[in-house]
Amino acid sequence: MGRPRLAIFALAAAVLGASLGAVGWAVTDHLEQDDDFCNACHVSADLPLHVEIRRDYDARPAASLASRHAAARLPDRDGGAFRCIDCHGGKSPAGRVRVKALAAKDALAYATGRFEEPEQMRWPLWDEDCLACHASFEAAGDDARGSPGFHDLAVHNVDLGVACVECHSAHEAGGDPGAFFLHATDVRAQCARCHSEFEEGG
């Protein structure tokens, strides 16, 4: 095959690949708007991680932070319901590419019979996924000891290297419903990164 024919073949392959990628992106954008599409692969009796997540997500009264979101309503959406993709879709271009790449990898593994449901989140949410809705934090006021809440202190609202989900576990059931389903042990572990008094035995 001569160089001109090879160049034409390479160009055609690139155009075809880009076209298929764009179509695949658009089709999956549409499909992932329906939680049942996500559940079709992730929820079955043999896959306990997402069975438990879906059970707790649907629980009323809310059993987790994700469940609290599911019970809430979005004023700008017909029906108002949250969907899986609202949190797991990625908000920035980099976030969307990350989600699409993982979905493509999982789809290929599923199609070839090599898909294994993870036992925990492989790619936790990024702060941007939370901040898309929670761009600012309401002052929680003083707690029972008279000290300010975490987000009332300006130093806590800068880049501490602590992701939202390190304290606010979305799908972990339990926690304190009055404190955004925070789990004391998880929060203490994060506090201990800067405050020695929160270390175990401290």
Are the CB atoms for 105 and 114 separated by under 8 Å?
no
Q: Are 110 and 122 in contact (CB under 8 A)?
A: no
Distance CA 182, CA 167 (A): 7
Task: Give 10-residue mean pLDDT values along the chain (202 residues).
Answer: 78 85 84 82 71 85 90 76 88 92 87 81 85 69 58 74 86 86 89 86 58
For the chain, domain boundaries: 1-31, 32-123, 128-198
C-beta atoms surrounding 57 within 10 Å: 23
3-state secondary structure of 26: helix
Indicate the pTM of the whole model: 0.75
What is the C-alpha to C-alpha distance for residues 178 and 7, in angstroms, rounded to an integer?
64
How far, in Å, are 31, 64, 74, 103, 202 from residue 98 at the CA level? Answer: 17, 25, 25, 9, 39
> What's residue 145's pLDDT?
47
**Phi and psi of 170, rounded to 5°?**
-70, -45
